[in-house]
A and B are shown apart, each in its own frame.
Chain A
Amino acid sequence: MKMQFCSCQHKMASNLTADEEAGWFVSQKEQPWWQWLLRRFIASGPIPRHVAFVMDGNRRFAKNKNLGSVIKGHEKGFVQLAKILDWCSRFGIREITVYAFSIENFKRSEDEVGGLMRLAEEKFQKLLNDSEKLDEKRICFRFYGNRTLLSARLQKLMSDIEERTEKFEGGRLNVCMPYTSRDEISRSFETIRTHVKEGKLNVEDINESMIDACLDSGCGGTPPDLFVRTSGEHRLSDFMMWQAADTHVYFDSVLWPEFGYYNLCKAILNYQYYRTTVSKMSSLNISEETTWKMNFSGNDRDLISVKS
């Protein structure tokens, strides 16, 4: 069965056009019968609203398959991401967050970091150029992380994509780049400190909800229901540590470019199996009287309180 699944996936990959392989969106027209059957079966149960992925294993994939360069591995990883976005959208998963580049990854070789930045520029430019597909899919793109560490050109591309897709409500894709959770939390603290210094906030009003609102995910994002990490590593690697504190965490041993439909189904089935127990655990949290929201439009941010 496993072999059949693999051969079907390879078949699907070979069905992709060169344009689709290079782009963010793969064809929505056809799905192999076994994928359709599995989806119908799994979708009869609860589906996570938001899934966060740590796309780990691209370099090991390139090494194992003798691709010659680690960048080839990252390219394969991107092709897989586009397929997973399509599969998730078919399952009805509304929000996806991917860990594309960690601030720690700047420690890697200049060649690899440069190659990754070029790949990101190329893919973001392609996304902007693909106006027709963007309007068809209506997916809102958001970028989490400390953008000041990136080149001016990349920063501009990211802002343009966010602006272009801001009003879309067909789904949401959060790309974390260059990101670490600690950096995100400390930037959120700094935003609050600035508000306190300006006299807009009282220190005693600070609560979890306020920190939540000041995180990168505060602009319309939700906490993930399922956290998936590939490549057999069992750690968070500084990814969404605040948001995933009570989330279902799922580890898979396959490398990211090999994370296929079968693996996604296993992750969702695992989520369904433990959903009630995990949600019981998160209900142990203390509820807060005042919730905070970040109103946003373009680059403008405004923190507002909502009494509950």
Chain B
Amino acid sequence: MLDVAGICVAAVRAVYWLVMLVCNFLGYSPLWAQIAMKNRKMENVRIRIPAHLAVCFTERRLIDLTEVIQIMDSCVAAGIRQLSLYDPFGELVSQIGQIEQACRLFTRADLFCDGKRLHSSGLTNLKVNVLSRKMGKSALVEACKMLCREDDEITVDRVSKTLEDKFHLSDPDFLLQVGNVPTLCGYPPWNLRITEFLQTPRLPCSRRALDCCVEAFSQRDIRVGK
């Protein structure tokens, strides 16, 4: 009887040892160690809410209007002040009427589309900016044309101000790359100077999913050159 118990214990120890060996070999921490490390890390992290969240769709099949409207609600609940939705395929711009309706009736958000103000109500907590490829390098070309018509020297600050004033483009703190394609798909390049990226397989439209992303953002160390 004792021998059987001893053999069982030895077998469990051997399996454990083998799992650890394989994990070590592949360079992965076992799942339980990852959870423990994550919990310990989160205890010491102060949650930082990004003031400006950007979403970049890298796959057309992941663009869903219902989810987009849901994430606007989640952003209001989480205290995010600005949401930029970049869709290089132009799907969102083609459905802008429905987004505008949702902004008027439910979310009470200010809505901009490709640099134009579509809806604004006095007491809003969220500014939504729907962007297409036109707002990528093309917006910079337009900004360059405007600045070239003036006599003053072109500086970094003047370019930023032109983009902000004419196209409502500002720097997001946090960008969610929705989909599996590891590219920025032509997202307005000027505004990605210190933006933190996170790749996610789906749009985190629920409050819980968005909170997980905000947690990941809070753990990032932002230094700006120092």
A281 touches B181 (CB 8 A): yes
CB contacts (< 8 Å) of B195 on chain A: these are 235-236
For window 84-135 of A, CB contacts with B under 8 Å fall at 102-108
For window 245-270 of A, CB contacts with B under 8 Å fall at 245-251, 270
| A40 part of interface (Cβ distance < 8 Å) | no
B25 touches A206 (CB 8 A): no
Encoded as 1 (CB less than 8 Å from any A CB) or 0, chain B from 129 to 150 comes to: 0000100111011011101110
Given A186-B156, A206-B148, check contact A286 B133 (CB 8 Å): yes
Which of B89, B136, B148, B197 counts the most chain A CB atoms within 10 A?
A: B148
| A65 part of interface (Cβ distance < 8 Å) | no
A286 to B137, CA, bound (A): 10
A281 touches B185 (CB 8 A): yes
Cβ distance B214 to chain A, nearest Cβ, rounded Å: 15
A237 touches B194 (CB 8 A): yes
A1 touches B25 (CB 8 A): yes
Encoded as 1 (CB less than 8 Å from any A CB) or 0, chain B from 59 to 85 comes to: 000000000000000000000000000
B197 touches A241 (CB 8 A): no
CB contacts (< 8 Å) of A270 on chain B: these are 182
B220 touches A234 (CB 8 A): yes
| B3 part of interface (Cβ distance < 8 Å) | no
A185 touches B159 (CB 8 A): yes
Closest residue of chain A to B179 (Cβ to Cβ) is A277
Cβ distance A146 to chain B, nearest Cβ, rounded Å: 11
Closest residue of chain B to A236 (Cβ to Cβ) is B192
| A47 part of interface (Cβ distance < 8 Å) | no
B194 touches A208 (CB 8 A): no
A274 touches B196 (CB 8 A): no
Given A234-B196, A241-B193, A278-B181, check contact A203 B149 (CB 8 Å): yes
For window 183-212 of B, CB contacts with A under 8 Å fall at 183-187, 189-190, 192-198
CB contacts (< 8 Å) of A285 on chain B: these are 133, 186
| B107 part of interface (Cβ distance < 8 Å) | no
Contact partner, B189, options A245, A250, A284, Cβ 8 Å: A245
CB contacts (< 8 Å) of A103 on chain B: these are 225
A105 touches B138 (CB 8 A): no
| B154 part of interface (Cβ distance < 8 Å) | yes
Given A2-B25, A235-B194, A284-B88, check contact A104 B225 (CB 8 Å): yes
Given contact pairs A192-B148, A211-B144, enumerate 4 new A-B contacts (beta carbons under 8 Å).
A236-B195, A241-B193, A248-B182, A281-B181
- Which 6 A/B pairs are nearest by Cβ-Cβ distance? A104-B225, A241-B189, A189-B154, A234-B197, A190-B154, A245-B189
B-to-A contact residues, CB < 8 Å = 25-27, 58, 88-89, 133, 136-138, 140-141, 143-145, 147-149, 151, 153-156, 158-160, 181-187, 189-190, 192-198, 220-221, 224-226
Q: List 26 A-B contacts (CB under 8 A).
A: A106-B225, A108-B225, A182-B193, A185-B159, A186-B156, A186-B159, A189-B147, A189-B154, A193-B154, A207-B141, A233-B220, A234-B197, A235-B192, A235-B196, A236-B195, A241-B189, A245-B137, A245-B187, A246-B183, A246-B186, A249-B197, A270-B182, A277-B181, A278-B181, A278-B183, A284-B185
